[in-house]
Chain A
Amino acid sequence: MEITEPILLVLVVATALAFDFTNGFHDTGNAMATSIATRALKPKQAVLLSASLNLVGAFLSLAVAATIATGIVNSGVVTLQVVLAGLVGGIVWNLATWFFGIPSSSSHALVGGIVGAVIAAAGTSGVLWSGLIGKVLLPALIAPIVAIGVASVGTWLVVRITREVKDNTNDRMFRWGQIGSASLVSLAHGTNDAQKSMGIILLALLASGAVPEGSSVPFWVILSCALAMAAGTYIGGWRVIRTLGKGLVELSSRQGMAAETSSAAIILVSSHFGYSLSTTHVATGSILGSGVGMKGAKVRWSVAGRMFGAWVITVPSAAAVGALCFFIEQVIGGNAGSYVVFALLVVISTMIFVRSRRTKVDSKNVNDDWESSADNESVIAQSVAAHDPRLLRIKRKKKKRNKKKKSVAGKKHKKKNVTG
């Protein structure tokens, strides 16, 4: 069998693996942020454990490979150029949100990128809108709400049952529970998300005729996707981990354990009922819920508000990048267009990486106090919206911050001490 566009195919496979890598490091926090924040695990141990389990998870099952784009775009219009543009859209959005420490959904970034490239290639009729709304957009609203509910009930029960146990005993025992539940989330993530990249690579191989019609995922694809995701997880998206573990709620190990168990349960149960919810949205909701369910815990709704804002714009933003990439491919034309887009991806990624070194977040400072971290705050500030470190305070009395209130989601009025 003749491979039609070998170089382009190699580029697409490389880009899909790069996406897998960003997916890994963007989502480390979903599983491990709470364990790192409560010091159940040292940061390096946590990412190593999570990476290993992601690796194992990627080999466990192939049930959902190739389902990522089906039902959302019209598969007839998907070409290698479209896939490449879509992947670039997903990667750029993942890197941008990582830079600002926002836990946004990697799957949404990928879907958004591909939807944008398809619209650019075939117009709006190439997108199955009811699939996009029903499978992607509405679940993004539902996931955090369900997770907040389940995690707050769980936390409330746990805190109530163990209120007569000494604090240090609680901490010691619940850390074990945390490690167990966080491991389960890592495993589920490896299985779910590595398969998305496998599916994309399989589509590309089929489209270029490198493998015969109807073949299953080749072993080297499974292996390389598993390794890319594990490597990404091990590198660790420390910025995102920091936001999830320290930014939303000051977590105790009891809360962390309840939050991770809630995440694991909701992710597994929802996929069982055929309603796939984003790991990121569930994990974030669970962490918020663990603050709601604990008497006297601080919940920084302002941070959560910025995050929700980013979720809303994830699909359109990634779509815009995807569409732009496809236009560039078309304007330049032929394979040269694809090479240029790939080169642009390399340049943009390098730029974001170099810029990120200036305000480094790594395993050493990931657990620093949220409020005193003026440096990190000022980075978040520049980008997401006009942001004032004072907004992160929970106390209400500082009214003067009102003049800075042009920020994102308008959630400031919800900020309050959650006193149960």
Chain B
Amino acid sequence: MSKFIEWDAIGNIIVVGLVFGAGLPALFALGVRALAGPGAKHANGAALLTRRVAAVTCFTVIVLAVTGAIIYIAAGGH
């Protein structure tokens, strides 16, 4: 079987796939939690500044990752 299955490639796909495929949703969830989780809001309904900064940071990283992916597709990397 080993001559048919490229174990190295599969190992890489699983590790990198987990980092991006599970990591990015988790990061997005952290952003959502920062914005809308318990303790994120003042009594008047506006979000705390620190929470907003944290959320924007999360979402920026995600946007950067997606932009990188599009550039990667355009460069024919796949």
Chain A residues within 8 Å of B, Cβ to Cβ: 57, 60-64, 130, 133-134, 138, 142, 146, 149-151, 153-155, 157-158, 161-162, 164-166, 169-170, 173-174, 177, 180, 184, 187-188, 191-192, 254, 257-258, 261-275, 277
Contact = CB atoms under 8 A, between A and B. Distances in A.
A265 B29 contact: no
Enumerate the 3 nearest inter-chain pairs by beta-carbon distance, A residue then B residue, closest first.
A63-B76, A271-B78, A265-B21
29 contacts: A61-B73, A61-B76, A61-B78, A134-B3, A134-B6, A138-B5, A146-B10, A149-B14, A154-B23, A157-B25, A158-B26, A158-B29, A161-B30, A161-B32, A161-B33, A164-B37, A164-B38, A165-B37, A169-B32, A184-B66, A184-B69, A254-B29, A257-B28, A262-B25, A265-B16, A269-B21, A270-B9, A271-B77, A275-B13
B13 to A, nearest CB: 5
Interface in B44-78: 62, 66, 69-70, 72-78
A177 B28 contact: yes
A394 B46 CA distance: 43
A133 B5 CA distance: 9
A266 B37 contact: no
Nearest to A183: B66
Interface of B: 3-6, 9-10, 12-14, 16-18, 20-26, 28-30, 32-33, 35-38, 62, 66, 69-70, 72-78
A57 B77 CA distance: 13
Given A184-B70, A191-B78, A262-B21, A173 B13 contact: no
Contact of B17 (A155, A157, A262): A262
Contacts of B13: 146, 266, 269-270, 273, 275, 277
Contacts of B70: 184, 187
B34 to A, nearest CB: 10
Contacts of B76: 61-64
A179 to B, nearest CB: 11
A55 to B, nearest CB: 14
Contacts of B29: 157-158, 161-162, 254
Counting chain B CB atoms within 10 Å of each CB, which of A57, A164, A166, A177 scores highest? Answer: A177
Contacts of B6: 134, 274-275
A191 B75 CA distance: 11
Nearest to A153: B22
Contact of B21 (A134, A191, A192, A261): A261
Contacts of B17: 146, 150, 262, 265-266, 269-270
Contacts of A142: 5, 10
A262 B73 contact: no
Contacts of B4: 130, 133-134, 138
B32 A174 contact: yes
B14 A170 contact: no
A275 B74 CA distance: 18
B69 A264 contact: yes
B21 A151 contact: yes
B73 to A, nearest CB: 5
Contact of A161 (B3, B21, B26, B74): B26
A186 to B, nearest CB: 11
Contacts of B78: 61, 63-64, 188, 191-192, 267-268, 271-272
